[in-house]
Chains A and B, each alone.
Chain A
Amino acid sequence: MQARCIYFLERLYLLIIFGFIATPITMIVLFSFNKDRFPGFPWSGFSLRWYEAILNEPMVIESAINSITVGLSTALGATIIGFLAAYVDYRYKFRGKTALNLIVAIPPAIPPTVMGIALLAFFARIGLFGELKAIAIAHIAIASSFAMALISLRLKELDTSIESAAWNLGASRLQGIVFVILPHCRTAILAAFFLSFAVSFDEFMIAWFVGGLNETLPVRILNLLQGQVSPRINAIGTLVFALTFSLVASTLWLMKKKQPTT
């Protein structure tokens, strides 16, 4: 009897925790389909009008396109930088390796506001301010950390003798990477790509600072939130959730997928 009671309490506790985490997301999705203009209770009926409304808002569409452009560039850049850093860490020993690992790993730990002003001041000096390029460059510097972590995790599963064997069998250094390392890491590389995209797609502080008049979606959302709140936010939010959910879920799925190891 006592055991059943404890079991019940444990489930209840988990339910509350997960409920707390899910509440904001549920609210946004729920109210994006609400007919009423104000997010009050009870719900006043199903409607798609807010989704239609965002289609007629060029600034939102433009910011979404900006976000996707920046996200894709970041994903590409961060995956390349992260892969190179992970591979160099895996394969070579040299002085200053710890320093290299640190400058790739640390950026996400820096307060975004601090990183934002540092980059803005710096970009303004070198004439990169106010461009989408600047946002992507900064996002790559941050997202590489995640990409490197994911790819390093996968590389650790590869015995170093496998690549040496390839060299011994006639593969050049470059062929070793192309025919041995890349096939081994392909899912981790894809996962790193998705995650880097998600990180960039969600980042607002640096994008806000260095983007100037070029707004990304999170910046647009923040600006909308500081003005008159409209249920369009909920519709945008639902779409954003749907995208990041699928990105992160695919990342997790890719990382979990069983792959042959030796």
Chain B
Amino acid sequence: MNAALLSLKNISMEYSNFIAVDDLNLDIKKGEFISLMGPSGCGKSTTLRMMAGLDNPTSGALYLDGESQLEVPTEKRGMPMVWQNFALFPFLNVQKNIEFPLKMQGVPSEARSKKAAEWIERMGLTEFAKRNISQLSGGQRQRVALARALVTEPRILLLDEPLSALDSHLRIKMQTELVRLHKELGITFIYVTHSQSEAFTMSDRVVIMNQGKVQQIGTPKQIYRAPNNAFVAEFIGMNNLIPGAVLRLEDKTAEIRTDLGIFKARSFVGAQKDTPSKLVIAADCIHLDGSGEQKISGKISGEEFVGSVITLFIELKNGQEFKVQKQQHEVESLNLKYGADLTLSWNAENAFLLAS
């Protein structure tokens, strides 16, 4: 299973005044759920549109099963897309929307309605089959859009921020449905999102992009625990970064000198003495009871609750902000006060250096 189903080679998309996608290489395996993620304008949607054949790259090559695709127009490429705004046909009812791609393939009307009926039932749309699109809720439209894209039984489904138009509880429900659908069909899902939680909960692999370039490709765990570079570490959100320079190198560890002191951490490939680098500590690897070997002190400047998880914001001596993530009950027992001094600590094996 290591042969690529879809392969992007040196793909670039240049406009007159900026480069949307810059020399992108990506191999997508058969049956995987892969997410393209990054801040808006990072080129993730353009990449998806190029896979679909809606935009043509200015250079590079695209292969499906080893066959070049760039000459193939979108209608012949067989990579249906689920659109951010669903792009359903407002003048057709639910059933006719789902039949549309079959009609374009010239499938006779009887076979068409039979096939559409299967998908209507599968997506739980039976009672809405004859409804107009304007009479449907957001979640129902989403299901019609999925059915319409899947009715031709494609090998690859492209999804362009499909959940961003839904409200938050529906979004979580649809995430489970997408994962179930992916498992049942066994086809490749290529998913574009700016939401970390969507990408990390659903995907087998995640591609982090910034300014048209791939920053890291890996499983959610790899990206979370071992970001490639400072951009990824920062983008993923719950990391603390302290800038400094390498002081001493050992086998796999190094010491870094920062204006908050000297710290020990895992080193990176190609590290040399005096190279500017950043110390990265994940927010949930920090202890509040002083049990870690590396220590730093600061004042509590704020807190934020999400569910049972609490994020503490600590202002360090040099004014930098540090994030600490803990379970709520752990923090409650410490009886912390706003503005109180606090010692943060972590173990050297949980911290690592990145080139900056």
Interface residues of A in 158-199 (CB under 8 A from B): 159, 161-162, 164-172, 175, 179-180, 183-184
- Nearest Cβ on chain B to A162's Cβ, whole angstroms: 5
Our pick among B88, B90, B104, B132 for the contact of A170 (Cβ within 8 Å) is B104
* CB <8 Å contact, B88 and A262: yes
In the complex, whether A260 has a CB less than 8 A from a CB of chain B is: yes
* CB <8 Å contact, B101 and A169: yes
Supposing A169-B80, A171-B104 touch, asked if A162 and B87 sit within 8 A by C-beta, the answer is yes
Closest B residue to A186 by CB, please name it. Answer: B91
In the complex, whether B201 has a CB less than 8 A from a CB of chain A is: no
Q: Quick one: CB contact mask for B73-89 with A, threshold 8 Å, 1 for yes? A: 11110111101010111
- Nearest Cβ on chain A to B350's Cβ, whole angstroms: 45
Interface residues of B in 29-84 (CB under 8 A from A): 52-54, 73-76, 78-81, 83
Closest A residue to B103 by CB, please name it. Answer: A179
In the complex, whether B241 has a CB less than 8 A from a CB of chain A is: no
* CB <8 Å contact, A169 and B90: no
How far is B105's CA from A175's CA once the two chains are assembled, in angstroms? Answer: 11
Interface of A, helix, strand, loop or mixed by DSSP:
helix
Instruction: Known pairs A167-B73, A169-B149, A169-B152; list 12 more (Cβ under 8 Å).
Output: A161-B85, A162-B90, A165-B87, A166-B89, A167-B74, A168-B54, A169-B104, A169-B148, A170-B104, A183-B92, A184-B90, A262-B87
How far is B263's CA from A94's CA once the two chains are assembled, in angstroms? Answer: 59
In the complex, whether A56 has a CB less than 8 A from a CB of chain B is: no
In the complex, whether B297 has a CB less than 8 A from a CB of chain A is: no
How far is B346's CA from A248's CA once the two chains are assembled, in angstroms? Answer: 79
* CB <8 Å contact, B105 and A260: no
* CB <8 Å contact, B81 and A165: yes
* CB <8 Å contact, B54 and A179: no
Q: Quick one: CB contact mask for B244-256 with A, threshold 8 Å, 1 for yes? A: 0000000000000
Supposing A168-B74, A168-B75, A168-B81 touch, asked if A184 and B91 sit within 8 A by C-beta, the answer is yes
In the complex, whether B134 has a CB less than 8 A from a CB of chain A is: yes
How many residue pairs, one in A and one in B, have C-beta atoms under 8 Å apart?
Answer: 77
How far is B89's CA from A179's CA once the two chains are assembled, in angstroms? Answer: 10
In the complex, whether B314 has a CB less than 8 A from a CB of chain A is: no
Q: Can you list 21 A-B pairs, Cβ within 8 angstroms, ordered by A?
A: A161-B87, A162-B87, A162-B90, A165-B81, A166-B89, A167-B73, A168-B53, A168-B54, A168-B81, A169-B148, A170-B101, A170-B104, A171-B75, A171-B100, A171-B104, A179-B100, A183-B91, A260-B132, A261-B90, A262-B85, A262-B133
Which residues does chain B contribute within 8 Å of A259, judged by CB atoms?
91
Which residues does chain A contribute within 8 Å of B100, judged by CB atoms?
166, 169, 171, 179
B53, B88, B104, B134, most chain A CB atoms within 10 A: B104
* CB <8 Å contact, B54 and A170: no
Which residues does chain A contribute within 8 Å of B76, judged by CB atoms?
170
Closest B residue to A162 by CB, please name it. Answer: B87
How far is B141's CA from A260's CA once the two chains are assembled, in angstroms? Answer: 15
Which residues does chain B contribute within 8 Å of A165, judged by CB atoms?
81, 83, 87-89
Closest A residue to B52 by CB, please name it. Answer: A168
Supposing A175-B104, A260-B132, A260-B133 touch, asked if A168 and B80 sit within 8 A by C-beta, the answer is yes
How far is B76's CA from A172's CA once the two chains are assembled, in angstroms? Answer: 9
Closest A residue to B55 by CB, please name it. Answer: A164
How far is B141's CA from A162's CA once the two chains are assembled, in angstroms? Answer: 14
Closest B residue to A262 by CB, please name it. Answer: B90
Which residues does chain A contribute within 8 Å of B152, judged by CB atoms?
169-170
Our pick among B52, B89, B101, B133 for the contact of A180 (Cβ within 8 Å) is B89
Interface residues of B in 90-104 (CB under 8 A from A): 90-92, 100-101, 103-104
- Nearest Cβ on chain B to A159's Cβ, whole angstroms: 7
Q: Quick one: CB contact mask for B279-317 with A, threshold 8 Å, 1 for yes? A: 000000000000000000000000000000000000000
